[in-house]
Structure 1
Amino acid sequence: MTSRSVLISGAGVAGPTLAYWLARHGFQPTVVERSRDLRSSGNPVDVRGPALPVAEEMGVMPRLRDAATQATALRVVDASGRQVARVSMPAARGTAGYREVELPRGDLAIALHEAARDGAEFLFDDTIATLRQDADGVDVTFERAEARRFDLVIGTDGLHSTVRRLAFGPESDFVTHMGLYVATLPLDGPADPPHDVVLYNSPGRLVALHPSRGQAGAAFIFRSPAIAGFDHRDTGQHKRIVTEAYAGAGWRVPELLERLGEAGDLYFDSVSRVRLPAWARGRIALLGDAASCVSLFGDGSSLAMAGARTLARALAEESGHAGAFRRYESEHRALAGPKQRNAGRSTALLVPRTRLGIAARNLAARLWPSGQAG
């Protein structure tokens, strides 16, 4: 297609991947990112399935393996810290002999940014203020940078997408709360033990400690209806919500809540599903969580990388953007759809509602064959 300047909103996983592939196909991508730099917090993520050939062709797999968490077991403990179940995961995970890689989300974003930065313009500490499209392009104003015109605009800006809000409608029209909230934060020092993911449940609540290279991470995942007045950018509010949700919990929870209260790098948000009838409107389209999020349970990073390459190829091979957007959406919905439909099963397994549910899950975990947790 002849349209060549593309503005991408969001420099997480989908944005830099799309910028890389667009540049490879002769486009001029610009990536705008609200944060001042790449976010280091968030859950560990997997690069697997359809994302593997994308990462390999981008040449980032050695970097991803170097950053791999190398978790080899899933260990479930009770309130006293006693092990009640342990499931082995592939011991070679993250090495050259095992293609799938689990790594901190921040390390993945950094590797993808480094791969893309020579072929794309990156604008940090800025965001889109307005979008106005016509038959020939999109006029964009920014909060900081001067207004510019682009041939196409792609929103890769996540669950709370600015592009989706400006071009498609309010968030409430497309985002459904799935009954869970999640908080993650890095901890000082390595995990102990160094290769076990440790889970502690009380009814409707989970705390997980996850190993990484040199620095462990903690996650709080709990059931709750949608919280009135929730602001996804208010860190003080987030700390109060998590502290109240885990009041009275056992194991190491009081200690971890103290660390959460002191944390400067905290991620907190609703676990939500995003559904739209169409992912494109004129010259503006959505990719990744902005289009089809099932946060936490939907292989979001792998799907984002796969979708980015699909979209870039469609734009390069189709004669116009409308046909390219239709082709991308048709192909990528086939991957994203099953993940959205199966999210409820993972929720029930990870955060049982009752003590009986926890006991049943733990019994099932003891019966899982070696490697099933991977």
Structure 2
Amino acid sequence: MATLEQDEDDVLVTFEHGAPRRFDLVVGADGLHSRTRALVFGPEEEFVRHLGIYTAIFNLDNYLGLENTGLLYATPGKAANIFTARDNTEARAAFHFAAEHLEYDHRDQEAHKRIIADRFAGEGWEVPRLLHEMAAAQEFFFDANAQVVMDTWSAGRVALLGDAGYCAGPTSGRGTSQALIGAYLLAGELAAHGGDHTAAFAAYEHRMRPCVTEHQTLGREGAERFFLPAPTQETLNLLAYTHTT
């Protein structure tokens, strides 16, 4: 999406690749770094609240032969873990570290890998092997643990859904379920209000706001206890739940 212009009748959207199109409504479900949100509501900095943690997750072979389990390595302000996936035929690994806001291009995957490699250089356990596997990983994700806090999730004929409008942060363990609940409620209100999108958007927000408030509280609390001197079972359970949702 390149531009978005709306009036009383519809929304004109232009794309970087493809012809412009007009839509009755636009729903932005494009994640933490939502282009829809930026075009309609303003720059990301106005809404994204950093939780002080960065996370990288990637795929690799299950070289340790783990079976339906995972392992965790933790030092102050850092953690690395590996856990099984796809009926133990594969594994996923994750690196987490505490830091205030970092400046980087969220689309530059090689820069992300360098950040992780620098932060975890010299660490023990399986970390050197995991860093080696990360360098070649094709499925790789890196981003800040953050929340999106907004006074409203709609403007005219445009509404936001999921992380684009109300990200609770990975430490909440509720990201996927929250997005599905939001989609269900939004679709239901659009159907119930017979084409009156203004009333539908207002009802969607009214019903969804308490859920988001609860989940964002969980996200903040999870971030505060994420790095503990000696990880408790509660922390291990939180890590496992986050990575399976």
Same fold (TM over 0.5): yes
Deviation at 1:249, TM superposition (A): 1.3
- Pick aligned residue for 1:315 from 178, 190, 203: 190
3-state secondary structure, aligned to 1:350 = coil
Q: How does 1:122-271 map to 2 (within 5 A)?
A: 128-189=1-62, 192-213=65-86, 214-228=89-103, 230-271=104-145
Question: RMSD of the TM alignment (CA)?
Answer: 1.9
3-state secondary structure, aligned to 2:13 = strand
Q: Deviations over 1:280-303 (max 9, x none)?
A: 000000000001112212311001
Deviation at 1:190, TM superposition (A): 6.6
Q: Deviations over 1:67-96 (max 9, x none)?
A: xxxxxxxxxxxxxxxxxxxxxxxxxxxxxx
Deviation at 1:196, TM superposition (A): 1.1
Unpaired runs of 5+ in structure 1?
1-127, 353-357
3-state secondary structure, aligned to 1:216 = strand
3-state secondary structure, aligned to 1:269 = strand
- Pick aligned residue for 1:293 from 129, 148, 167: 167
Report percent identity of matched pairs. 41
Aligned length: 234
Contact 1:191 1:216 in 2 (8 A): no
1:81 maps to none
Residue type of the partner of 1:278?
A: T
Deviation at 1:340, TM superposition (A): 0.6
Residue type of the partner of 2:4?
A: L
Q: Distance in 2 between matches of 1:198 and 1:350?
A: 16
Residue type of the partner of 2:184?
A: R
What's the TM-score, normalizing by structure 1? 0.60
3-state secondary structure, aligned to 1:211 = strand
- Pick aligned residue for 2:219 from 305, 328, 343: 343
Deviation at 1:345, TM superposition (A): 2.4
Decide whether aligned partners of structure 1 residues 161 and 191 sit closer, same or farther in structure 2, where only a CA change above 3 A counts: farther
What's the TM-score, normalizing by structure 2? 0.90
Q: Distance in 2 between matches of 1:308 and 1:263?
A: 32
Deviation at 1:264, TM superposition (A): 2.3
Contact 1:276 1:292 in 2 (8 A): yes
Contact 2:62 2:84 in 1 (8 A): no
Greater RCO (Cα-Cα under 8 Å, separation 6 or more):
1
- Pick aligned residue for 1:326 from 202, 207, 213: 202
Deviation at 1:209, TM superposition (A): 0.8
Deviation at 1:263, TM superposition (A): 1.8
Residue type of the partner of 1:220?
A: F
